[in-house]
Structure 1
Amino acid sequence: MKSYLLDVWNAIDPIYYNLTRLQYVPENDNRNTLFRVRVTRYKGKQVVLSDGTVINKNDLLLKIHLHNVRMLTDLHNITSDVKRAVYVYHMIKRSLPWLANYVGIHKRKQEIKAIIGITTLYRGADRLGFEITSIKNPCYSIVKKGSFLPINFLANASCRNTPVYLFMSKERLLALYNV
C-alpha cells in the first residue's frame, strides 16, 4: 500500500513543484540535490542567530524544502531507523555545498540573509550548522505538524516532535560549505 501511495505522490509531485514556485538546487552532471528552494519573506518573530545575524519580519530568506518523494524512494529498502537517519544526514550534508554555491551565485545574494527550513526531524541538524528555533505561533505549528503526517506515515516514522525552524545565516553557509 505504501508503495502505491509513493507512486501516486511521485505522479502528483511535479504539480506541487510548479504550484509552489520551487527551484531545484543543481548538482553536477545535470543532477539535482535533495533540496528544492524558493526565495521568501520571513513572517515570524525576530530571531538572532549565534553569529549575530538578526532576522526580522519581512527579511528575505531562502526557504529549503527536502525533495521528500525522492528521499522516501531512496529510503524505501532501508529498514533500520538508525541507517535511515544516517543516510538522510549524509544526503543533506552532501547537498549543502551545492546549496552554498546556489546562494553564492543567486541574483538576490546581497538581499538574502539566511536559509530557513521547517521540520520535525531535526536531530543532528546542529552538526550541519543549522540553528533550531521553535515556532512561536501555535496554530502554524499544528498546521505544519499535520502536513508532515503523510511523510511520516510513508517513512514509517512515528515522529512526535513539534515542528521547528532550522536557520543558517548566509555567511555561515558560505563559510562552512562554499568549496
Structure 2
Amino acid sequence: MGHTTKKTRQERNRLQMNTSLLMLWGFWDEIYQRCTRLKYIEKGNNIFRIVPLRYRGESLVTSDGQSIHKGDLIVKIHIHNYYFATLCNGVKDELRVALLLRRHIMQSLPKLATYLEGMNNREEIKGIVGTTMLHKGVQPLGFSISDVPMNALFRFKRWYLRLLIRLIHPDGKRRVQTWRQEIPLKRVYMSKEHLLNRYGSNSNEPSGELF
C-alpha cells in the first residue's frame, strides 16, 4: 500500500514537472519561431513547420527513384515538437504515442502537399527532407530513411531531440538511456512528385493505413 502511494506521488510530481517544463518550452518556442525562417503550414492544426533551402547533405535517392543532390532546392520539414508534446501530455502508453504521431503526420501531409503546390518556385523544388528520432513507421507513408553523418551539427541536434523525447515519451528517461550506444537520428525524405501524387489535390493513391 505504502509502495503504491509513493509510486503515485512520484508519478504526480513527474507530471507536474513536465507541465511546468512544457510552459517554459512554449515561451522558448515562440521566441525560436520569430528568430528563424520556419513557417507554419497551419498553426495549431499541422505537425509540420517548413523552410525552403538548398540541400547540403549527401546525395539521396527516393523510393520512387528520384535524386536529391547538394545544391538542389528542397523543403526542409520540421516536426513541431512543442505542439506534439502538448498533444502527448498525460499519455502514458508508448503505442498510443506512436499512433498519435503517425496519425498527425498522415493528417498533415495533404496540407503540406497543398502548400507546396501553391509555392511560386514549386517547379524547382526536388523534395522534402527532415531529420528526426521519431522515424519508426514512416516508410509506409512514402518516406525513405537514411543515416546522417555525426558531425557537430547533428550531434547537437541528437542531444536536443533526446531532451525532447524525455518530455514527450511516456517512458522517455528509460528510452533515452537505451540509446547510449545507438544513433537513432535519421534523415527522412520524399520526392516532390511522390508527395504530390500521393497527397496532392489530384491524388488518386491511398495515403496509407494506421498499422
TM-score, normalised by the number of residues in structure 2: 0.79
The reply on whether 1:74 has 2:90 as its aligned counterpart is: no
Counterpart selection for 2:193 from 164, 171, 175: 171
Q: 1:64 aligns with which of 77, 92, 104?
A: 77
Q: For 1:22, which of 38, 45, 56 is the aligned residue?
A: 38
Distance in 2, matches of 1:92 and 1:166, equals: 13
**2:28 paired residue among 6, 9, 12:** 12
**1:118 aligned residue:** 131
Provide the C-alpha distance between the structure 2 equivalents of 1:44 and 1:5, rounded to a whole number of angstroms.
Answer: 33
Q: What's the % identity of the aligned pairs?
A: 34
Report SS of the residue matched to 2:37: coil
Deviation at 1:162, TM superposition (A): 2.2
Q: Which residue of 2 aligns with 1:84?
A: 97
CA distance in 2, matches of 1:41, 1:137: 20
Residue identity matched to 2:33: Y
- 8 Å Cα contact 2:44-2:83 kept in structure 1: no
TM-score after normalising by structure 1: 0.92
DSSP-derived class of the 2:125 partner:
coil
SS at match of 1:144: helix
Aligned to 1:98: 111
Q: Distance in 2 between matches of 1:146 and 1:114?
A: 27
| Alignment partner, residue 167 of structure 2 | 154
Q: Distance in 2 between matches of 1:176 and 1:23?
A: 23
2-structure distance, mates of 1:35, 1:121: 13
CA RMSD in angstroms comes to 1.5
Higher radius of gyration, 1 or 2: 2
Which structure 1 residue ranges, 4+ long, deviate > 4 Å from structure 2?
none
Preserved contact between residue 131 and residue 167 of structure 1 (Cα < 8 Å)? yes
User: Is the contact between residue 158 and residue 185 of structure 2 (CA under 8 Å) also seen in structure 1?
Assistant: yes
| 8 Å contact kept, 2:63–2:190 | no
**Residue segments in structure 2 that go unaligned for 5+ positions in a row:** 1-16, 202-211
Q: In the aligned structure 2, how far is the partner of 1:138 from the partner of 1:12?
A: 25
Aligned pairs, number = 176
Secondary structure of 2:128's aligned partner: strand
- Structure 1 residue runs of 5 or longer lacking an equivalent are none
Task: Specify the alignment match of 1:145 in structure 2.
Answer: 158
**8 Å Cα contact 1:141/1:162 also seen in 2:** no
Alignment partner of 1:135 is 2:148: yes
